[in-house]
Amino acid sequence: MREIYISEECEHYIQQESSERVRKKFKYLLEVIEEQKIVHTSIVEKLTNTKYYELKIKAENQIRVIIFTINKEKFNEANQIILLNIFLKRTNKDYQKAIKIADKLLSKYKLWKLKILQQLNNY
């Protein structure tokens, strides 16, 4: 079973900016990637020359979620992942912007995790 963390940005997009159909598909795909160790590339695929993967939500449009694997480099081996940001794919150029956003969010996540570890060490 895989632990899935969802960033505030990703959560906001799904809850506020997407249709009911997209929300249902997103929920279904979360269940798949949580329960299945091996996930087909039609659902999750490595982004070339990056440390990220993409979750493909094929509903009304081509919606993509940038994923970072926390405890393993390969998605199929990872037990912990974080869904960083979500975007509407129109062209391949959209990935460049989304990856920059993901880098910023990942830095934020790492700082947050470091603060928690420091707090735990103080007890």
pLDDT of residue 107: 84
| Whether residue 84 has pLDDT greater than 70 | yes
CATH number, residue 61: 3.30.2310.20
Q: How confident is the model at residue 60 (pLDDT cuts 50, 70, 90)?
A: confident
| Whether residue 117 has pLDDT greater than 60 | no
Distance CA 5, CA 54 (A): 15
Nearest Cα neighbor of 12 from 101, 115, 93, 79 is: 101
Q: What is the pTM of this model?
A: 0.85
Task: Assess contact for 31 and 17: CB atoms under 8 A.
Answer: no
Total count of domains within the chain: 1
Task: Assess contact for 32 and 24: CB atoms under 8 A.
Answer: no
Instruction: Report the b/e string of 90-103 with b at 16+ CB within 10 A.
Output: eeeeebeebbebbb
Domain that holds residue 80: 3-122
